[in-house]
């Protein structure tokens, strides 16, 4: 684990509240480097970010493209923005298992002895996971362009769609970490995560228009934040009204983070 360099005034008996912003940022940077070194030592941990965009794109375009849209090219225009919304959720779900495992392996015992803000450990994980989301989204878009994706707006609109997906993905990282801190095993984190993940993904507008769904399911898709995010990304790429879906997605992102981040930090402090 990379060392965290402390200034002379940062004594182990200092209260967390006395740690200044500059020191806090330095600790976050050191912890983020530690997480990146872990990825370097275990490249297989990046397989989900590297391979999932390729597999999902090929699978859904060539299996469902003709059936859903009648044209694989048109389905690419519909589905790829939806997958941008889904990438962050899938990657975020792995964070909870990882933080749960850290407690089992004793890594957190080391952090307990260090004069660092407990929140810096969690913030560093959010930073690294957002980097993984950016890698996954870049690969997804590269694959989509190879298959014929056409950005019918402007590059700035595409970047806005990526930024919106990252913002929502960051809020889900906090949710996943809270789940990892609340349950007793990585297996439980994965099981609960899948129970949440599947209805949100398939009960949304990511893969198919909601107009063909039963009334009760269509009602659910309207309040599903993934539907709003997918619609926002889709209109930013293909053109169309974006204000409503963008503001709803931002509201969900801020609301989820405002609730889960303090709870995750509180739970982390109790466990450490």
Q: Say if residue 7's pLDDT is above 80.
A: no
Q: Could you report the per-residue pLDDT of 39-71, keeping only the tens digit for each?
A: 888 888 788 888 889 998 888 888 877 777 777
C-alpha distance from residue 227 to each of 82, 115, 124, 126, 236 (Å): 8, 42, 29, 23, 14
Give the confidence band of 8 by pLDDT, cuts at 50, 70, 90.
very low
Domain ranges within the chain, ordered by starting residue: 19-271
Q: Token pair of 84, please?
A: 């941008």
Q: Looking at residue 43, what is its pLDDT?
A: 80
Of 12-21, 96-105, 154-163, 230-239, the range with the lowest mean pLDDT is 12-21
Give the confidence band of 257 by pLDDT, cuts at 50, 70, 90.
very high
Average of per-residue pLDDT across 83-111:
81
Distance CA 27, CA 122 (A): 11
Distance CA 247, CA 48 (A): 29
DSSP letter assigned to residue 208: S
């Amino acid at each position: 684990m990379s060392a965290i360099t402390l200034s002379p005034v940062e004594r182990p008996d200092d209260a967390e509240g006395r740690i200044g912003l500059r020191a806090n940022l330095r600790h976050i940077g050191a912890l983020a480097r530690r997480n990146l070194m872990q990825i370097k030592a275990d490249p297989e941990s990046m397989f989900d970010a590297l391979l999932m965009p390729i597999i999902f794109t090929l699978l859904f375009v060539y299996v469902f493209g003709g059936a859903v849209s009648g044209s694989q090219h048109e389905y690419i225009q519909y589905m790829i923005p939806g997958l941008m919304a889904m990438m962050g959720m899938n990657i975020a779900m792995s964070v909870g298992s990882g933080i749960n495992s850290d407690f089992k392996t004793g890594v957190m015992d080391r952090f307990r002895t260090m004069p660092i803000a407990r929140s810096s450990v969690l913030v560093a994980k959010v930073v690294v996971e957002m980097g993984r989301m950016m890698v996954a989204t870049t690969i997804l878009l590269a694959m989509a362009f190879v298959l014929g994706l056409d950005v019918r707006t402007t590059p700035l609109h595409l970047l806005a769609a990526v930024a919106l997906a990252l913002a929502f993905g960051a809020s889900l990282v906090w949710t996943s970490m809270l789940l990892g801190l609340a349950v007793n095993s990585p297996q439980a984190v994965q099981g609960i995560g899948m129970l949440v993940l599947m209805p949100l993904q398939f009960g949304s507008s990511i893969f198919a228009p909601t107009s063909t769904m039963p009334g009760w399911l269509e009602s659910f898709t309207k309040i599903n934040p993934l539907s709003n995010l997918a619609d926002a990304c889709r209109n930013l790429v293909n053109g169309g009204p974006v204000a409503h879906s963008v503001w709803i997605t931002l509201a969900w992102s801020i609301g989820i983070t405002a609730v889960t981040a303090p709870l995750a930090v509180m739970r982390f402090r109790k466990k450490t």
